[in-house]
Structure 1
Amino acid sequence: MTAHDVTINDDYTGDLSRHEVQRVRVGAIDVYKTSVGEMDNNCHLLVDTRAPERSLLIDACDEADHLKALADAAGATVTAIVTTHSHGDHVQALAELVEAWGAEHLTSSLDAPDIEVPADRLLDQGDTVTFGDGATLVSFILRGHTRGGVGLGLDAGEPANAESPADDAPIHLFVGDSLFPGGVGKTANQENFAQLLHDVEERIFDAYPDDATVHPGHGSDTTVGAERPHLEEWRNRGW
């Protein structure tokens, strides 16, 4: 596959089919979303237009050749890959891309033992990840779908933290399989469900405004505001 096989659609909806690529501009950051693999996993490439030679991929899920072609089409050099959680459908291309790009691998300190590719950096609640020309992501840990996946908050490349994100810029949240339109991610039992709902409430709904866009690990995007009214319904529905 070559870069010519990738067509970038700037009419961003967040709804896409396998191998489709959509792009949305967030401040100086271009966010590319594509879907790969038999389980239609979402991968997100973050490119700071001021320094595309230091780009970041969220989840090297599958189909390494497609993800390489995406980076080429975006004019990006990927120097970091963040794995949101340890499930196998999110890491099928990880080893190949870490080797091909010489990229740093980052993941949650809780999930790292369950991921075959070693982590170069372990992330915990409130850590910052920089890429590009100082663009900043803030990590939040979400326990329950796995031991502890990592989500990332992008505040348009401006310095931010989960407690007080900037009010004058669009916020984008990359949450792996912990939050979807209509509910939290799959859990193994009631205890894990309660833990995940707690973390999602505290670390997403209590920390970010309603207009923050939520990018799950599969399927369509949503917003914090679209899901907030349903929290009690999810709690009552239970596991």
Structure 2
Amino acid sequence: MKDRGELTMRHLAAKTGYSAKSWERYLGGTTLPPREAVEALARLTGDDPVPLFALHEIATDARNGRRARTGAQPPERTPEAEPEDGREQPASLTGPAAPHSGPRTPPIVLTAPAATGPAPGRFPRIALTAGVAALAVALLAVLLLMLRLGEDVPPAAAAAQPRTTAASTPPSYTCRIARSDGRWSAGINNGRNTEIYYGATGADVAEAQCLLRRAGISPGGIDGMFGPLTLRAVKTFQQRAGLVVDGMLGPRSWKALRG
């Protein structure tokens, strides 16, 4: 969504209120982003946040379950007790003693057969590994299913979501184009020439959108949001005016817009 919207970390930080370092951790998978950051990214890129919330809940449950599993340790084996004084087994277990006059024969010690099966604790570890692998496969399948469901949602169904509608309602601006002292103005930002770039919002963006429309280039709606349509209109205007085509409205671009 970030790359498709041509957003940079600086744009995300300026638009959402979360720092660029935080977005690097979120997008790099180091830290799970908060729900508010997910909603802010969806609003900025014009996407439906409902499938993203479902994926966020799945990721949260998976991380909590992984932490709970890593905290459990298999029980340790305790060695069998041995005689502290190093004495031999009683005569009843070692057989009859040899006469004192003859050479002493070594005692015959009865021992249990060595265990040939797997060591205790191996099966729980194998079962735990298999369970983690099965859970990872299931989560991946659910993720792919949610992504496909998100792509198949019709626009009408997406518009019916109350939270999405409330979050995506842009403010309205009215263009009042007038010329004073040889400079064009839309009457929105009091004639400011503030530098703005992709991802910016507010009256300065709405002023630029009005002036772009006056110049015969459509920026989309006059909504005060520097989105893809406004970016395309700014680049088209800069190319026509012989300016550097960087998509940012600086002093020279404002001067050319106000003509």
**TMscore range, shorter length:** under 0.3
Q: Which has the higher strand share?
A: 1
Report the TM-score when normalising by structure 1: 0.24
Report the structure, 1 or 2, having the larger helix content: 2
TM-score by length of 2: 0.23
